[in-house]
Chains A and B, each alone.
Chain A
Amino acid sequence: MSQSTPVEDERTAYRVATLPLEYGTTRINQLFTRGYNRYIVDGEDQPDDLLNDLERFGTAAFKEDVRADAAEEPFVDEPGTLAVLATLSAICVKAHPKFEHAPPRKVQVLYDIRELYVNNLASLLREFGDGSFQQDIAEVLYAKDPGEDGPHPGRVCTGIKEMPEFGEGLYLEIPVAAASRDCLIRADTERGETGELLTRVKNNHLYVPVGNFDTKYREYARRAFKKLLRVQEENLSEDQLTWLTTNESAITERIDRFIETGHYERIWRDWDQGERTIRVLRDAIRDAPDEVVLLGEFHSAKELFEAVEAYDPEADWKRDVCNRISSPRSLGNLLASQRDHRSLTIRQHRNTNHYRIQESARGVQPLTVESIEDLFELPCMANMAERLNEKKPVRKDLYNFSRMVMWLPQYQDSDLETIVADLKDVFSRWPWYDEQVTDYQIRYEFSNTIGGDTPLPMNCDNDDMQRYCIGQEQCPYSIWGSLPFPEEMYDQLDEAKSTGEEF
């Protein structure tokens, strides 16, 4: 093994970052030193730059598309920096009060950080290496314990090759004498069946499809990242840890917002099964064409099952839930097991059960918004309406109110005339109403996009709302949590919070 350290030698840094389980604490700390060195300019520490970068890394990790893109294009360009930012972000997550007593394996955001790390590393390796790194990794991933005659004398992976005779793609070449069952890859099949062997034989070597390498590395990376994190945690002094958690805010705020908006699936790994089922059903119902099924209406298990069958979600956890629902009967059983869920009502109709799923967000009371008037069920909006009886709106009131309406699902695809007409109808109840002024003001707000995106609605923390807020502790609602805003709104929220260049 090379004696050079990851501090000076990039190749060694890559090896330690990729295969930390093969190295001791000293080498891993040298990798971190390499990363920290980037934040020393002319002998001076640059803690703000570090903080800034780790906040950007941590918050970006929560976004699925960023994680996915990082597998193609590196998000961080250097292995030492990557290791530092990923581990410090994870430490910030673990320091969040919400996770104080939670085992890390249950915290989804830690998985997200690890995924960004692994994907980023994979694309860095592709750019840096000449394929020899992949061979080094395969060496570790496919190695078996020494047999009766001692360890296999040669390389475990003797090449990564195209083998047109076996089909497209690359194959890892492993001598049979170095092979174990880990090298036998089977095709995916229905549960319980043994899939066809995809590993091929030629010339006394096995040829393993390289796709399996990625899967295996992900398994390895789970333990690998845990080790990096442990070394980093042991490396930080109490003072450094305090500095970190006191100064970091972006990651903590993002987690707070997930909680506030009821996005529990983004925080918890094995988020409550019943909650997941209801969430997926709600999405499937929203997604169903032609209003065959509707939220807030009673439907048979068969009708709901058809909606689930037609629903094709992107998120893995949602697909898992859908896959578990195999028939109307299994859906009925699943719902029956969740009969106490606050968004679910089960009613017997002749001899059949009918099920009603309602809009909801976890932790806050959901609001069904059929017309704009329904917004006044929010105590803050009721306060605002009351104040508007006495005074003309300040501009921000109108502005915030319009934005909230813009994001309501029923207005997402409406033409502007309909929205303006409906809003004017609401405003006309107040004594100061002037049709022309209001018309102009509404149209102005709607033309006032941000880079083509609809401006985000206000939330409960918005300063302008504070004059109407009855106090978040007492309020059973939350603006972002109770209103039926679509996922795109939250996605845009994520993007708005994390713009900036790569580092």
Chain B
Amino acid sequence: MTWRQATREEIYKYYAKEFPSYVDELPAFITAEGPKQYALAFREPHPVRKDGVPDKDFIRRDTWQMNAAGDRTTAAFDKFDDVLEFIRHPARNDPLGQSDFALADPDLLDKPDPRPDAVYYALDHWERPWVLLVDIDAKTIARERATQAVSDEDATGDGEDLLDAAGILEADPAGYPYSFEDIERAIEYGFEVRDIFEDDFNAEETMVVYSGQGVHVYLLDTDPAHRYDAKSREVLNDLLQDTYEIPIDPVVTADRRRVARLPYSLHADVCSIVTPIESPNFDVQSATPEVLQS
């Protein structure tokens, strides 16, 4: 098969049929009430209820309401099934309810019921003070590879021309700014980072997640020795890049307020399931949802 975008129907089918079978396999800290937010991205901007407010292609929803003191008062989702309902029908199950800023009622629209192109959860967590995530993107690897492969005369810039000159745009998956080779390399790097975490940073709980176009490597230990604040994360970034020569996206590591793709959610741009993986030999084709294969 080739890499392609999932259709609206395929996305719905995935979350209705296949995704629920993975829910029990989600990491224990990903619950209805744990992450401070869930977020959805849409392919096309969807209107909100209030007039004059721009349409949204990305929405974040708090899992809890807070009082003025910042304490939790009311949960947005009672159980993970509620999160699932929100993913399946965001406009009908928007935790903002009837608020002016909630997604517009699908019954009133010509293009009802937006489907999530991507589902995210916040690394910031109510019960878990720190989650560390390192992002390794196949695009970065491809660009570096192209820069090395292509001499100055052949490339006029560092964008598409460069990738084109290096033959990356033509290689499978065709049209994407990386090839399968780059994704495989990203996965290898991911396991290198996991080993570094375990060997040099004494991490016991780690996770490598295939993200669809690269990997996320998690350091999940909760003891204070791993309470890396933003400054320590900058150190980690520098070490990973300089000492270990891993091509990471340093912005992600340092920023605890980011959202990350929810494991087992669908990366709709490439029809791939975001999958926790155990080995660098992981076959990315196996992350294609069954509902799309049939």
Contacts and interface: CB of A to CB of B under 8 A. Distances in A.
A197 interface: yes
Interface string A199-223: 1111110100000000000000000
Contacts of A147: 229-232
Nearest to B196: A201
B202 to A, nearest CB: 4
A145 B235 CA distance: 15
Contacts of B231: 144-145, 147, 179-181
B54 interface: no
A184 B230 contact: no
Contacts of A451: none
Interface in A158-183: 175-181, 183
B292 interface: no
Contacts of A200: 243
A429 to B, nearest CB: 75
Contacts of A206: 235
Most chain A beta carbons < 10 A, residue from B232, B243, B256: B232
Interface string B221-234: 00011111111101
Contacts, number: 69
Contacts of B230: 147-148
B200 interface: yes
A139 to B, nearest CB: 16
B229 A176 contact: no
B242 A176 contact: no
A149 interface: yes
A149 B130 contact: yes
Nearest to B241: A197
A181 B235 contact: yes
Nearest to B201: A204
A199 B200 CA distance: 13
Interface in A378-422: none
How big is the A interface, by class? 20 to 34
Main secondary structure of the interface of B (DSSP, over half): helix
B200 A202 contact: yes
A176 B228 contact: yes
B238 interface: yes
Main secondary structure of the interface of A (DSSP, over half): loop
A183 to B, nearest CB: 7
Contacts of B226: 177, 204
Given A149-B130, A203-B202, A204-B225, A180 B243 contact: no
B27 interface: no
B238 A181 contact: yes
A238 to B, nearest CB: 47
B2 to A, nearest CB: 41
B236 interface: yes
A148 B129 CA distance: 10
B96 interface: no
Nearest to B235: A179
Contacts of B202: 203-204
A248 B229 CA distance: 53
B239 interface: yes
A180 B201 contact: no
B219 to A, nearest CB: 10
A192 interface: no
A206 B242 CA distance: 14
A153 interface: yes
A175 to B, nearest CB: 6
A149 B235 contact: no
A89 to B, nearest CB: 39
A385 B157 CA distance: 81
A204 B200 contact: yes
Contacts of A175: 225
Interface in B214-261: 224-232, 234-236, 238-239, 242-243, 256
27 contacts: A147-B229, A147-B231, A148-B229, A149-B227, A149-B229, A176-B201, A176-B235, A176-B236, A177-B224, A177-B225, A177-B226, A177-B227, A179-B235, A180-B231, A183-B235, A184-B235, A184-B238, A184-B239, A194-B242, A197-B239, A197-B242, A197-B243, A199-B239, A200-B243, A204-B200, A204-B202, A206-B235
Interface of A: 144-145, 147-149, 152-154, 175-181, 183-184, 194, 196-197, 199-204, 206
Interface of B: 129-130, 200-203, 224-232, 234-236, 238-239, 242-243, 256
Closest 9 CB pairs of A and B: A147-B229, A180-B231, A204-B202, A201-B200, A179-B235, A204-B201, A144-B231, A197-B242, A177-B227
